Amino acid sequence: MLCVKFQNEGFVVKQAEEYVDYLIIKSALEIEKRSQCVVVVGEDIDLLVITAASTNSQNIFFLKPGRGQGCTNSLEDSIITNLANQEAEIDIRMEEIILEVDLEEEYQKVQVEESDSKQIDINDYD
């Protein structure tokens, strides 16, 4: 249900059957073939190691959020700042979608409970 909701919002959804870090880097390599640059954002150092072992491309970057001492106003810093802002907006939207799904599930549970209680009431009159 959550995957469908994200797809309806325009997100590309992939489900890892085994090792999620490998899927992330494999996806980044696929995207890199058709774009100028790819930034992999994550806390897990395994992502950096797999990226380094998988390609010698200079168009794939690894960003570990919340690190660093500030900007030097270089082009790279501007790109990273812009990407971080976009990531924050995506994070907020993803949280909203998850909350919507949780609310929909709760609503469905209430509907089922109400339906069950109405059925009991009807059976009481038989």
Residue 60's beta-bridge partner residues? Answer: 38
Residue 82 token pair: 């812009």
To the nearest whole number, what is the mean pLDDT of the chain? 73
| Average pLDDT for 35-39 | 78
Q: Is residue 90 part of a domain?
A: no
Domain count, the chain: 1
pTM confidence score? 0.47
Summarize pLDDT for 79-100 with one digit per residue, the tens: 666 666 677 777 777 777 777 7
Q: What is the pLDDT of residues 49-89, one digit of tens each?
A: 888 888 888 878 777 766 555 545 555 566 666 666 677 77
93 belongs to a structural domain: no
pLDDT band for position 125 (50/70/90)?
Answer: low
What CA–CA distance (Å, rounded) separates 88 from 40?
Answer: 14
Q: How far apart are CA 57 and CA 79, in angstroms?
A: 18
For the chain, what percent of residues have pLDDT higher than 90? 0
User: Which range of residues forms the domain containing residue 46?
Assistant: 2-66+77-83
Could you tell me if residue 20 is inside a domain? Answer: yes
pLDDT of residue 72: 53
- Looking at the domain assignment, is residue 48 inside a domain? yes
Secondary structure letter of residue 39 according to DSSP = E
- Residue 5 DSSP SS3: helix
Residue 37 maps to a domain = yes
Residue 26 · residue 50 · CB < 8 Å: no
